[in-house]
Chains A and B, each alone.
Chain A
Amino acid sequence: MTNPTPPPDRDDAWAKAGSQFNVGTLPKDAININVQGKRVAGPVKGFGALWQKTYTARFVGTKPDPNTVIREWRAHFGDFWPKGNRFFTEGSRVDPGAVAVLNLSPAPGATVVTGIMVLFADDEQFTFLTPEGHMFGGMITFTARVDEETSDTIAEIQALIRANDPFIELAMALGGTMQRTSIGRRPSPISPGILAQQQHRRRRKSASTGVCAGRKPAISSAAR
């Protein structure tokens, strides 16, 4: 007689205490600067107001289980980036405490190198934290759910971020977040060509001493 498998410890979904930005072994073509040894820059401190931004993508023609979406998203996260942008992490998975290096191309010929740490990851969601020196401090959470009205499966990205310098704050106020919006536009391997049929975003600027303002512009889909 074998003992039943104990249920997973929910606390294992969190990065371990004292986790730092320690970059593991990466592919040789990864540019690895600006990340190793950095401290976390959470959403609490920073130059600017706290912004909450939510991006959603509705699955069309298929209704994958939300946990399947999260499992595949974690397993293939590095595959979903726009052309010219790379996500490197040791073992290529999104696991609690993992550190990834991002090589981003905001403009032709320019490369921005930064990173993220996986704060939390389970079957229902995963969350990244940014390092000091990143353009913004904050946490970004990826979830999936079933729309109660349509029963469609919806993938969602919610960012709680605070600019780390006045230029980024200005860019955020002017809507300079399209580059981040493009994350997730590429089709998922479990739903070829059908992921991003609908995408919208929501903003909420929560100034630490000021007014809470909001608007909900719809943006066009980028399904491919």
Chain B
Amino acid sequence: MVKSTIALTVRKINAQTSVIDIKGDVNAAADAALADAYAQASGQGIRTVILNFSGMDYMNSSGIGLLVTLLVRAQRQKQHLRACGLSEHYQEIFNLTRLNEAIGIFADEAAAAVA
């Protein structure tokens, strides 16, 4: 069984926007932690949740799958999901899987918050 090495921190940066800071590896073992973090981040009045990948060490294809399910959850709640801090490599993976067509990619948290 893959061990979880993910560490997630949830911050609310304004009345409508929350940030999930992601550290460690995003793989199948991160499923519950990511779901819990999203539940915390998507409280009342939140319109946008920003996934901050600047502290992420690694993501495998199961991690991409988790993001797809997270995206569906966000759409159900009529919230926007955005990403920042992705390395060039993972931006390419988002492009390849076409995840970038549904999750906006921004250079940093400030840009994602004002988009």
Q: Please list the residues of chain A having a beta carbon within 8 angstroms of any beta carbon in chain B.
A: 10-11, 13-15, 17-19, 40-45, 50, 52, 119-120, 122, 124-127, 129, 139, 141, 143, 145-146, 148, 158, 160, 206-210, 212
Contacts and interface: CB of A to CB of B under 8 A. Distances in A.
Contact of A208 (B1, B76, B98): B76
Q: How large is the interface on B (under 10, 10 to 19, 20 to 34, 35 or more residues)?
A: 20 to 34
Interface of B: 1-2, 28, 58, 60-62, 64-65, 68-69, 71-73, 75-76, 89, 92-93, 95-99, 101-102
A139 B61 contact: yes
Contacts of A206: 69, 72-73, 76
Contacts, number: 89
B97 A42 contact: yes
A120 B60 contact: yes
Contacts of A52: 69
B60 A125 contact: yes
B22 to A, nearest CB: 16
B96 A15 contact: yes
Contact of A145 (B1, B76, B102): B1
Nearest to B93: A14
